[in-house]
Amino acid sequence: MEKKIGKNVSSGAEKVERVEEYTAESVNEPVKKTSAKKKTAVKKTSDAAVKKTTPKKSAPKKTSAKRTALEKAEKKEKAAASKRLEKAKKKEAAKEEKKAEKIALKQKKLEKKAELKQKKLDKKAAAAEKKANRKQKRLDKKAALREKRVEKKAERAARRELLKNETKAEKQKRIEREKRERVALKRQKAAARDKAREEKIKSRRAAHARKAQDKKHRREQKTARKENRRGFGGWLAAVISLGVATLVLGTIVTAGAFRMNDITLQQETGARATLYELVSVSEDMDNQLSKLRVSSGVDEQRQLLTSILVDSALLESGLERMPVDQATSTDISGFVNRTNSFAKSMLSRLAQGKTLTAAEKEKIATLYAINSKLSSELNNLATHMTSNDIMDFIAGKEGTMSESFGSIGGGIHEKAEEISDAPFANEGNIGENRLTSLPEITQAEAEERVREYFSAYHVADVRFTGETASQEMACYNFVLADENGTEIFAEITKNGGKLAFFDTYEPCTEKNFSLPACDNLAKEFLAGLGVENVEAVWLSDAGMVANLTYVTTENGVRVYPEIIRVRVCESKGRVIGIDARGYLLNNETHAKKAALSEEEARGLLSGELDVTAVNLAIIPVGGENTLCYEFACNMGEEQFIVYLDANTGAEVQLFRVRRSATGSYLE
């Protein structure tokens, strides 16, 4: 039976099933449940058992052992089957888990992709919205500008209607009032800027003070903690530290002395090198200005003016590195900046195919004289200065160098007022020379005229010093002296006996008269010369001297070739200089009409400019008088003056207004 089971069982499960059946048959019904063959076999076994001897009666024990073995095999097979089942379950669970992870990862990728797509859509929508907002802002800005223009146009129309019946006295009062308001507004803005600057400095100082107080408090806390921990060991450490500190301090003092000597030597060397650089550059500019006085070739003049531009920039850079006082720096910088501006304007004139006028050549001679004096003084200073002089100068003490620089600045300050930078101030004669049609006078008649012109100056003496003749006019030269010995140089034209130019120097140290007051004084003086219908187009003050530029007006049109420049001392309230050569050469009647309206011309300007004032003006363009619209404009903090041809709308001239410590000038 054991062999039969081993042959017929093919798997663990089947084997277990067969064993269970066999066990049941053996225990309960060993004879009845067998087949026919089994019954025959049992019978034979019984018969044989009777015949056998007694020892063979132990068969039941053998059957019991087999049953125990079968039970053990059954348990073993059950345990193995259970393990295989658990392993199969775990394997299947791992497969399911891996499959679930793949599905989750795929879902996460899909979600991320959808999120990125949504972000792109949101970004695109935001960009479109931003673009639409910008477009709307531009449209709103344009609409606001149009409304503003309409309002300004209505205001101007109302103003013109209001001014139609205005008398001359009322007009004068109104102009003075408007100028006072502009000056007051300018001062308010300057005061606001100064206040904001002071507040900023004050807050910065307060922050520094708080920071220093915090540091001091931390040091005190640290010292207190050390004091609390101090014992005998602390006392011993303090003694040792004191000894080490004494040695270190001695070393530091010695090294510091050597370092201070090195720093002092470096400062002296730097100041000396800067002074030598100023001498070299001023000598080079002196050479260029000297050549420019006699040069007649356009190419050579361009090269010389370019060199002057470079030298003036180098002079300004060197001056910034010198510890001169504010007044001296302002005087010398004023001369350098004006020279630079003059060179730029002349280069621009040459680029337009024009030539230098007689007035410009006179200005070149003036610049040469001033720079020659500057170069000589600097050279003398560099030759005779000592190390002690340099160190006193660096330390801000009074000494040879500070006095020398002060005298240099004063000398330049006296002459720098002759340089003006008003629009079209150097054009000279435009078109027909009006002086040639006037009768010629004698020297005696010229002397009578000059005494008459300066009757209010308490003239004690008049001396004839010769004649000057240029291509444009000829003049009698006189030197007048008042009761205080102050000399006045004046030029009277041979044709017509007009005052073309005069100059004097009076110390102007206080500002007792404002620009509007100086404007009134200048107009009174011009009225005494027979000059009327003039308007101030350029006002600036520097060094307590007001520089005013006037042009004639013809039916409300400014005629820039007919220019008069006046200087007024703000301390004494007296005219101390005049240049009327442009007015005398170009004084004639102009009958011109604009083809473009003001609104049409305004529409041709750049949209970046904010127009503050508009005037019709006649300006020199290519040697001819041209009717233009003059637009005074702002762009942020910058100021510009734009001239558009009143017939074609072409931009014929553009100036940028620059302001400095010595007044305003154009670029």
Q: Which of the four pLDDT bands, split at 50, 70 and 90, describes residue 566? A: very high
Give the pLDDT confidence of 654-664 residue by residue, as tens digits. Answer: 887 766 554 55
Q: Which of the four pLDDT bands, split at 50, 70 and 90, describes residue 59? A: low
pLDDT at 415: 43
What's the whole-number mean pLDDT along residues 64-87?
85
pLDDT at 31: 41
pLDDT at 43: 46
Q: For residues 160 and 165, what is the distance between their CA atoms, to the nearest angstrom?
A: 9
Q: For residues 517 and 546, what is the distance between their CA atoms, to the nearest angstrom?
A: 10
Q: For residues 487 and 522, what is the distance between their CA atoms, to the nearest angstrom?
A: 20
Give the pLDDT confidence of 242-266 residue by residue, as tens digits. Answer: 565 555 555 554 444 444 444 455 5
Given a cut of 70, is residue 76 above it in pLDDT? yes
Question: Which residue in 554, 508, 502, 553 sits closest to 528, CA to CA?
Answer: 502
pLDDT at 34: 42
pLDDT at 578: 92
Question: H or E segment at 466?
Answer: strand 459-469
**Pair of tokens at residue 342:** 């003059």
Q: Which of the four pLDDT bands, split at 50, 70 and 90, describes residue 228? A: low
Cβ neighbour number for residue 487 with a 10 Å cutoff: 13
Given a cut of 80, is residue 424 above it in pLDDT? no
Question: H or E segment at 44?
Answer: helix 36-51
Q: Hey, which residues does 481 pair with through a beta bridge?
A: 461, 487
Q: Got the DSSP string for 285-344?
A: HHHHHHHHHH---HHHHHHHHHHHHHHHHHHHHHHHTS---HHHHHHHHHHHHHHHHHHH
Give the pLDDT confidence of 15-56 residue by residue, as tens digits. Answer: 445 545 554 454 444 444 444 444 444 444 444 444 444 454
Give the pLDDT confidence of 210-221 residue by residue, as tens digits. Answer: 887 887 778 777
Q: Residue 432 gets which letter from DSSP?
A: S
Give the pLDDT confidence of 629-643 residue by residue, as tens digits. Answer: 999 998 888 888 899
pLDDT at 243: 60
- What are the start-end ranges of the H helices in 562-649? 581-586, 598-602
Q: Which of the four pLDDT bands, split at 50, 70 and 90, describes residue 420? A: very low
Q: Which of the four pLDDT bands, split at 50, 70 and 90, describes residue 442? A: very high
Q: Which of the four pLDDT bands, split at 50, 70 and 90, describes residue 446? A: very high
Give the pLDDT confidence of 118-151 residue by residue, as tens digits. Answer: 989 999 999 999 899 988 988 988 888 888 888 8
Question: Which residue in 117, 667, 652 sits closest to 423, CA to CA?
Answer: 667
Report the percentage of the chain scoring pLDDT > 90: 11
Given a cut of 60, is residue 412 above it in pLDDT? no
Give the pLDDT confidence of 308-352 residue by residue, as tens digits. Answer: 888 887 877 777 666 655 445 555 666 777 787 778 777 877 776
The residue among 396 and 77 whose pLDDT is bigger is 77
Residue 328 half-sphere exposure toward CB, CA atoms < 13 A:
16
Q: Which of the four pLDDT bands, split at 50, 70 and 90, describes residue 181? A: confident
The residue among 332 and 231 whose pLDDT is bigger is 332
The residue among 83 and 420 whose pLDDT is bigger is 83
What's the whole-number mean pLDDT along residues 193-210?
79
∠ at Cα 357 (355, 359), nearest 5°? 155
- CA distance readout (Å), 398 to 237, 310, 392, 586: 51, 32, 7, 52
Give the pLDDT confidence of 472-508 residue by residue, as tens digits. Answer: 788 999 999 888 888 899 999 999 999 999 988 777 8
pLDDT at 209: 80
Could you tell me if 580 and 498 are in contact, meaning their C-beta atoms sit under 8 angstroms apart? yes
pLDDT at 419: 39
Give the pLDDT confidence of 371-394 residue by residue, as tens digits. Answer: 887 777 777 776 666 666 666 655
**Pair of tokens at residue 525:** 């003086």
Give the pLDDT confidence of 517-526 residue by residue, as tens digits. Answer: 999 999 999 9
Q: For residues 426 and 428, what is the distance between their CA atoms, to the nearest angstrom?
A: 6
Average pLDDT, the chain: 75
Q: Hey, which residues does 340 pair with through a beta bridge?
A: none
Give the pLDDT confidence of 606-621 residue by residue, as tens digits. Answer: 888 899 999 999 888 7
**Pair of tokens at residue 663:** 């007044």
555 φ/ψ sector (left φ>0, alpha ψ -120 to 50, else beta): left
∠ at Cα 382 (377, 388), nearest 5°? 120
Buried b (16+ CB within 10 A) or exposed e, 84-102: eeeeeeeeeeeeeeeeeee
Could you tell me if 476 and 492 are in contact, meaning their C-beta atoms sit under 8 angstroms apart? yes
Identify the top-confidence range among 165-179, 249-263, 284-298.
284-298
Report the percentage of the chain scoring pLDDT > 70: 71
List of residues 6+ apart from 587 with CB closer than 8 A: 434, 552, 562
First to last CA, the chain: 128
The residue among 183 and 250 whose pLDDT is bigger is 183
Q: For residues 417 and 666, what is the distance between their CA atoms, to the nearest angstrom?
A: 16
Q: Which of the four pLDDT bands, split at 50, 70 and 90, describes residue 624? A: confident
Q: What are phi and psi of 317, to 5 degrees?
A: -65, -45
